[in-house]
Homo-oligomer: A and B are copies of this chain.
Amino acid sequence: MCGIAGTWNVDDSYNVLHDVLLALQHRGQQSTGVVINGFKSVKGEGLVHDVLTDSNFVEGKRGIGHVRYSTYGSINEIQPITAYTFKGTFSVAHNGNIIDADERRKYVMENGGIFSTTLDTELFVHYFSLAPYRDPKSSLQWTLSRIPAAYSLVMLHSSFIAAARDRYGIRPLFYGKFGDGYVIASEDSALSSIGCDDIREVEAGTIVFFSDNTPGPEIVTFSQKDSHFCSFEFVYFARPDSNFFGVSVHELRKRLGMKLYQEHKVIGDIVVGVPDSGFSGAMGYSHASGIAMDYGLIRNHYVGRSFIMPKDRQEIVRRKLAPMHSVIQGKEIILIDDSIVRGTTMKVIVDMVREAGAKKVYVGIHSPAVIGPCNYGLDTSRRNELIASENEEEALRELIGADGLFYLSTEGYKQVFEECGVNGICTGCFDLNYPI
């Protein structure tokens, strides 16, 4: 879970990277790093505005940046990473997971390779150096053709910037025109938010080079495209105002909500979205069913900073969400969420809604139950309620104490993507149908 960004021929690239990474903050909150041309880096644990402060400003017209969900305790372990080689100096940052990173790393080390971090990112550096070309661009092509998946990547070389996606296109990547230059980002909404024009997707299996000698972006295909975009980017990971393949995330979530109603036809008095992840799906459910949507739960924005220590996880949820008695009292409530991260959390929510006077509480999830892990960079360990059979679904319903629990079927799920014109998605965690 990461966000990446880049700039080419953009004044005060540091500031622009700051703003783009800020707009990608939901993709990673633990560490932040940028490298500006001349290979000056600014890195640190923490949020974008904690690390990329005014006083750390570095002058430069090109650069790359990264935000990350987790850090391994050391400042050296923060991307981008920089390497000095006989093919030039360069920095690289990526979003994703190199699948067989451990074996590849061991192999390189046994051949005398020296790593300066424990990040799988550093494999790109070694492959780049090992590539049987003098030319850095060819070396990068060779590198990416040798490492199949799963990454989106930005690279700052002394003579160019590159944005690339693996052949399966698992993680997203976009670029857009910004003044006389270009800006790269994991999501298009980050580009829109700073005023970019002509925003395009980096195609799976291609590198987009921005070079000194070439007027515009130069697109190079290093592998045949075999599209398997992570559908969870749509379901819960991306911002609602982002688009993939020209399809609005909010719109697709709404469609999932509609399909959920069509499959289950669960009826009640009020549809309530679990804040904020369930709002779009709840709206879809409401539109499809004609049942009014209302704010039955209000998020308390500051709870993460409270001083009174809640005794347990349940207590945290209770302080994070306020039930609206006037909305819930005496009603049959259909709670909609994108997925169930923890059954214990959903149990507290159901309890709260019941205590606020709900007659019935039904829980609808607008994606299928997760039954397998993700090897492509998503932390599914948080999705710890893996469900493999209907028995287990019933057990979960009992655990959370709902009057009903219903998921979208994998077929229905896939259908919505197809209807929206999104083909070639990865649904491995739902149906164990892993593309690689």
- Chain A interface (Cβ < 8 Å from any Cβ of B): 12, 14-16, 18-19, 22-23, 25, 39-44, 48-49, 52, 54, 58, 73-76, 81-86, 109-110, 112-118, 125-126, 129-130, 189, 192-195, 239-241, 247-248, 250-251, 254, 279-280, 283, 287, 292-295, 298, 300, 302-303, 305-308, 318-319, 322, 324-327
Contacts and interface: CB of A to CB of B under 8 A. Distances in A.
A250 B129 CA distance: 52
Contacts of A73: 40, 58
Contacts of A85: 109, 112-115
B49 A305 contact: yes
A319 B193 contact: yes
Contact of A115 (B40, B84, B110, B248): B84
Nearest to A86: B109
Scoring A18, A114, A240 by chain B CB atoms within 10 A of each residue's CB, the highest score goes to A114
Given A86-B110, A308-B194, A75 B42 contact: yes
Contact of A41 (B76, B195, B305, B307): B76
Contact of A129 (B83, B114, B298): B114
Contact of A295 (B18, B41, B58, B240): B240
Closest 8 CB pairs of A and B: A116-B116, A15-B307, A248-B326, A84-B115, A241-B322, A241-B298, A251-B326, A86-B109
Given A193-B319, A308-B19, A327-B250, A84 B293 contact: no
A75 B240 CA distance: 35
A307 B15 CA distance: 5
B19 A307 contact: yes
Contact of A114 (B84, B109, B318): B84
A16 B324 contact: no
10 contacts: A14-B307, A58-B73, A85-B109, A85-B115, A114-B114, A114-B125, A193-B300, A195-B318, A240-B298, A293-B293
A371 to B, nearest CB: 31
Contact of A112 (B42, B130, B193, B240): B130
A84 B109 contact: yes
A234 to B, nearest CB: 13
A82 B116 contact: yes
A194 B319 contact: yes
A86 B74 contact: no
Contacts of A240: 295, 298, 324
Contacts of A300: 23, 193, 241
Contacts of A279: 295
B84 A112 contact: no
B86 A82 contact: no
B41 A74 contact: yes
Nearest to A298: B241
A241 B195 CA distance: 35
Contact of A23 (B12, B48, B302): B302
A339 to B, nearest CB: 19
Contacts of A308: 12, 15-16, 19, 194
Contacts of A76: 41, 43, 76, 82
